[in-house]
Each structure stands twice: as C-alpha cells, then as structure tokens.
Structure 1
C-alpha cells in the first residue's frame, strides 16, 4: 500500500505518495502530491488512507496494462464520490495473495493498511476472499470505475498503455514519450478510455480536437485546473475564455494521435484510420518560433555593460549566446557540446553537432554537421575558454548545464536567456534563443547566400544535400568559412578572460 505522508503548507494540508520505480516513467513523476481540503486531524488522515488504497489498486491495474487517470481517481476519493473500493488480486508484502478485498469506508482502508503492515511478520497464505467491510454494495460502474476492460475486445486504455510501452521500449527520447502520454491522456479523457478500439471513428477524433482546442496552457500546474478531470478542465476553460493553443500545439497533438492510430491499424485492430478525411490545421514551419532579432535588439542583448554583468555568472551564459548568434545552432545543440566536439578540420576550428555522448541528441539527420567558428567568436577568446575546461578535465563544454529531466541540456540556458532579453526590453511573444537561428538565416539570405550554403551552417533540410551523405565534407569547409564572413551583425563581442566567472571556469 502506498504510504501517505501528510504535509502542512500555508495553503492547507497535502498528502504525498511515492510512485513505484517501475511506474515512474508512465506516471511522469516520482511523487504524487495532492491537497486534502481538510484541516489537520483524523478526517485528513482517513482520506489520505483511502487515497493510498485507491492507488494500491490503480498501480496494480497499470502493471497489468490498463490506463488509469490518477488525477481523476484521487479527486473522486477526496470528494467522497468513491465511497467504496474493490481490490482484486492483491499481493501483500509477505507474499499473501488476496483474490478480492472490498473497502466501503475510510476506516476500512485504515484496517486494510494495518493488515498489510502485520503481513510483513507472518507466513504467506492463499486467501480467496477478504471481506474487510460489512456491506456488500458493488463499486459503481461507468465513469466511477477505477479501471476495467471488455473480455473479448481491445479497449482503448489497454491499447494506449501498450503503445506508450512500445515507445519507451524503442528508446525514443523521454520527451517524446511524455508528450505522447499527454496527448493520449487527453484523448481518453475526452472520449472515454473504456471505448473499444474497433469502434473508434471520425466522431471520436473530432470530439478530441474540439476538446483540446479549449485545453488551457499548463493546466496540470495551475491551481484552478490541476485537480480537475479532463472534461472538467475543458468546461472551466470555456467558462474562463482561455486562449486557444497555438497552431503548432494542435499539430503536435494530431501527429501523436496519428502515430497511435497507425499502430492500431498495423496491429489489425482498426480497419480504417479515423483521422483520414479530417483536414489538418494550417501551421507555420514547426521551427518557426520567434523572429529574427533587429539591429537594436542585438545591440541590447550584447550591451557592453549589461551582457557581461549577466553572463559572467556562468560560462554558458557568456558563450552560449555568442555561439548561437554566429552559428545559427539550436540551443540544445550548443548546450550539449562536449569537449570532444570542439575540433580543427583542415586548419578550420569549429564544432560538431552530433549525438553519441551521454544525453546528446539531434533533431534529424540534416542536423549532423561541422560548424566552423566565425572569426569574431575566435577573437572573443572562445578557444582559450575551451583549453581551460580541457585542463580541468571536464567532459562537457558547459559543466553547469544539467540534463536532470532527460529533456535536453538547453532548457536552463533557454529560460535564463529569455528572462535576460525581457529585462533588456525584448518582450515579443515567443522570442528567445531561437531568434539567433532566424537572424543568421535571414541575414545571409539578404546577403545573397544560397539556401544550400545557409543549410550547411544551420543544419536545415534542403532536400538531397551533401549533408545527407557526409556531414563533415572537407570540400565544403572553405565555402562555409566564406559564408560566415558574410554575416556581420552590428555588435562588438566582449573579450573573455578567466576572471569573468567567480571561482574560475564554470
């Protein structure tokens, strides 16, 4: 049984449960923390115990391949909507197997928890039925069920669990798995997870798109929404007139749903794809985030007073924006650089964008490339910094950038940079580190540089390019160096020396 830990906070009493290690990837967190909406005392402890028992059953169901909306379940327990639970095939800590346990009241949950604690000190037995409570009322059907599936049909909940397991087993990026889980959770929350897969239709898909069109940004983190079910969130969002998600957000939901539905067709569970015939929303380029920086904005970013003051705290703040401006590289491509990625090819110093080191990833095969260092970057002291980091024995170019979430090294740099440029008066929505990429591409285009030459620097796809065959291609290095000389933003870079970072290189 998940052990509840009561937490007292200024906003009230909360309960925290540890998520078993094998379920953390699917749940997306090590802990579940929920408000009890009760003052400290016996009532709060009883509700927490009921939540623990509900999670016991839910975790067991998840291990059997079923999808459980934990947020919805805990909300119903807390509100009293679930007043009884039937647990099936429960194994106690000592190995004792209980075929069925019915819990009708919060007190029953406490009793069952005590039974589990005592079981640690006794020999295992086979129990065919455990009646912890007196009443024989059945657990409510339909939406109040914790998890169930039809005996002779593949249900949506099981199909979703299998799909997410397949994505994780294919060793896709953790971010991909988490985002797919989010989309499928909304899909099931809108149309119902107990829908037989074979019955999925265009009506279900259209209902999904209509629902996510009202899904508010960061709903799971906002106090007004985080404890509500999917339908309740959508209903409240409509009432609050929340802005619709961006077009590219809707496009990503469609893409993730499409992958899921195609997998069902390949498994012969669907004969027709319900997405067929539903027109996709018109979207800009998926990478089109923000816009090029103007001359005035570049001068504000690299202000000779403010930039060193902000950047001198960490090396990634100092050289991250400099490399971003003069390479057009994505923030994660820069943030994940290792010392072994900095090299000199045929006398040309530069860096590799590739994967291979721990935590490194690339967006696509066009991203693999060798980017020469522009003359202003070399003159700013970047190579001196590289040698200092090598002398320390570090492996990462920017040792202070973590990848603790598994979603890339660039998240912290991106967020810090966004805060900084807003302070510098650059407050356009969506503007951030990616603006450097737009700036280089647009200004080289204005200077008459060919699209293929720009792509060789930035790693954009341009069809059948030399990048698809050999991402270094020494023959093109002189052309790439010449391309970089055409990029002349109206700024002066600050000079680096090892005194900039407190305590030396960071």
Structure 2
C-alpha cells in the first residue's frame, strides 16, 4: 500500500520529489514522476485524491486535511517565485529573461528547499552558491543526468569532475536571485536582504572574453564558394546574414530581425537601422540602437536588388523564414544553422559561431587604426557618455563610419546573390 498522505506532504515540502515506480490502490501505475513546481504539486494532489479508495465523507476529510496542510503555501518560495515571474511578465520582460530567471530560481528552490520566504537567510544563499558551481552545462539535454533531481544532478556532476560555469554565469545567478529578493522586500515578504552579508565573487578578467575572431583560414573555410553556395542555396537568410555579420559586426539577432523598411540610404550612404520599431524586434542595450553603413562588397553581391525584390512582393521582413516561435528572438534558428555548418567546415571549437564575426571586424579595424569610438558606433557596443540613445543615426560621424567599414578587408571570395540562387 502507498502512504498517500506522506506523498502529499513530500510534494508540499520536499526540495524535489521523484517517484521511481509505484502502483496506487485504484490500480494506477506511476513511473518516473518528478514534482518540481507548484503546478506539479496541484496535479499530483488531484491524482492522489482520485486514487484514494475511500467513502465520500473520508474523501472530504482527506481533502480538507490537505488544504489545511497547504494553508500557508502562499508564504513558500515556490509560490512566490511564480508570483514574481508573473510580475516580470506583466512588466514586459522578454521570454528569455523569464526563462533564465525561472532557471535560477528553480535551482535555488531545488538546492535550498521550498522555504518560507521570510525565513531565507545568508546561509541559504551560501548553500546555493556553493552548490550551483557544480551545475553541469546542458544538464536537461544530457542522458547521464536524465531522471535525476537537482541535488542528484549536482552530486553526480561533482563526482564526474564537471567544469564549473563561467564567472559571468554565476554572476547572473546572483543577479536573478537578487532581483527576486528585492522584489520580495518591496512586497514585504522579507525584512532584510540575505545577500548583503555575502562577499561578491572576485571578477576573473580571464573569463571576460566572450570569444575570439575567426582566423583567415577559418573565414576562407566558411566562405569557400562551392561550400557556402551549396549550404545557402535557396535560403536568403543563410546567404545574407553571415555576409552582413562579416562586414558589419552586427549581432545575429539584430540581423535576423531586420525589416525591409530598416534598409535606407542616409546622406548618400546605404545602410540598415538596428532599432526597435517593428513587431518582434529587440535591443540588447541602449547603445545597440544605430545605423550601420553597408560595405561595398555587400552591395556588389546584390543586396539592394534583393531588398527591392522584397518590396515589390510586399514583404515586410527581410528574412521571413526565420521564426520567433518561442519569443526569444529571430536569431536562434540562424545561430543553430550556422553553428552546424561551420562544424562541417572544420570549425569545432566550443563557443565559435556568429558572434565571432563581431570580434573579427573589431579586431581588424583596430589593426587598421580605426578609433575604438568609431568601432563602437558601428558594432553597437556601449560607450562612456553614449549619446546614441537619442541620436542613433549620428549624421556628423556617418561618413567616418562608412570610411571605417571600407577599411575592413576579410580577403574572402563572395559570389553574388543572384549567381548563388541560380546554382
């Protein structure tokens, strides 16, 4: 027989409940059941109540007992986490922020337990930080961690000697937890901030690097005419996004979300707007808003003719085949497709992808004696005292930026878009 009320209590209070295999009194057979969230708890309680072989009176008493046990559930971390995330969504935070916040807070609950929020203290935070350094990368996608709870996953990863997350990742965990705690204080759920007494992790400057530029051999491999044409044939985004990234240093999301109306000629300089004017567009930060001149090799490949063709068809987006189904940005599919392509071209180093084009452009422009201020205006990096939040086209420096782009010479061979489509 199954102690149903013990299971219900475990579902309410446990860090994480995993049922390997059990047959309930009514014959229901359960295997590999995991309870991580308040919604899991609700569904589990309903299942248990339905499986209880009792008279109507006993069922009422059982339900009443469960409700009494759950009476103070609103005070617990699991419930308030959901309220906090709902507030973030209501406040207009994008889906990526919500997903990452949920990840951090779920790990916290799994490591520390479903505590009453008002009782959280510095030791709970220390326990979290000491454990989360062992959380393995891509844990939910790896077979060796399948079916394991959060604590079990951490213990196994620790035993396996998994490398720790980057310092930036740990800092993001702290920031998301801090956001929740500050929210809880504003809502009078907790009196003091338990993070205030903790010493912040020392910044490791060796981990600040977000990647490296492509080498010349790698660029040649990516844009080798036969391979690149075969991979991009029939796909406008596969052809144009890598070329635009190479000659502009723009982020993959920025390019993937472009609309036809973003392509414009300003003061005789053709270029594209990185902005948040149309549905689905987003900006990484205020300094990201800018007008990027188009390099001559991009024009020579027929880019403006491609844009005019879309206008003639009444197409709104530049790359309509790139979806944003999960709300995390139009660039996710492009990143995956490009990542798979360069691996086949022999570029297998961890972390290499579209972002390497930003490093490539910036590194070579520095070598060409272009000022860092001008480079930042092209790539959209934040600058001290940035005025581009209001004047993002910045016409007085437009010609200077166009001249800077012209100094970027990647030494690759490109076929025109029309020629590529006809192969």
Does residue 264 of the first structure (1) align with residue 191 of the second (2)?
no
Query: Is 2:280 aligned against 1:310?
Result: no
The structure with more helix, counted as a fraction of residues: 2
Question: Cα offset for 1:442?
Answer: 1.2
How do 1:319-330 residues align onto structure 2 when only pairs under 5 Å count?
A: 319-330=240-251
Query: What are the Cα deviations for residues 289-314 of structure 1, in whole angstroms up to 9, with x where unaligned?
Result: 32111111111111121111111131
| Residue-by-residue CA offset, 1:465-498 (whole Å, 9 max, x unaligned) | 3313300122211111111111111112211107
- Structure 1 pair 331–499 and aligned structure 2 pair: CA distance change class (3 A): closer
CA distance, structure 2, for counterparts of residue 323 and residue 455 of structure 1: 17
1:178 Cα deviation (Å)? 1.2
RMSD: 3.5
- From 38, 45, 48, the counterpart of 1:68: 38
* Cα separation, partners in 2 of 1:308 and 1:102, compared to 1, 3 Å: closer
In the alignment, which residue of structure 2 is the partner of 1:47?
29
Please name the residue that 2:337 is paired with.
416
Q: 1:279 aligns with which of 165, 181, 200?
A: 200
Mean Cα deviation higher: 157-166 or 351-360:
157-166
Pick one of 390, 409, 422 that aligns with 1:488.
409
2:312 aligned partner:
391
CA distance in 1 between partners of 2:230 and 2:221 (Å): 13
Residue 151 of structure 2 aligns with which residue? Answer: 231
Match of 1:331 among 226, 248, 252: 252
- Decide whether the 8 Å contact of 1:350 with 1:372 is kept in 2: yes
Q: Is the 8 A contact 2:85 2:98 kept in 1?
A: yes
Would you say 1:437 and 2:358 are equivalent positions? yes
- The residue number in structure 2 matching 1:91 is none
| TM value normalised by structure 2 | 0.85
1:416: how far off? Answer: 0.8
Q: 1:421 to 1:284 in 2, by over 3 A?
A: farther
Partners of 1:402 and 1:409 within 8 A in 2: yes
Answer yes or no: is the 8 Å Cα contact 1:354–1:361 preserved in 2.
yes
Taking the aligned partners of 2:373 and 2:185, their CA distance within structure 1 comes to 38
Q: 1:150 aligned to 2:72?
A: yes
Which stretches in structure 1 are left out of the alignment for 5+ residues? 1-33, 59-66, 78-84, 88-100, 112-128, 140-144
Distance (Å, rounded) in 1 between the aligned partners of 2:146 and 2:202? 28
Q: Structure 2: which 5+ residue stretches go unaligned?
A: 1-17
Change beyond 3 A, Cα 1:383–1:233: same
**Does the Cα contact within 8 Å between 2:20 and 2:31 map onto a contact in 1?**
no
| Matched residue, 2:285 | 364
TM-score of the pair, normalised by structure 1: 0.72
Alignment of 1:427-506 (within 5 A): 427-497=348-418, 500=421
1:380, 1:496 within 8 Å by CA — same for their partners in 2?
yes
User: Whole-Å Cα distance in 1 between the matches of residues 277 and 64 of structure 2?
Assistant: 58
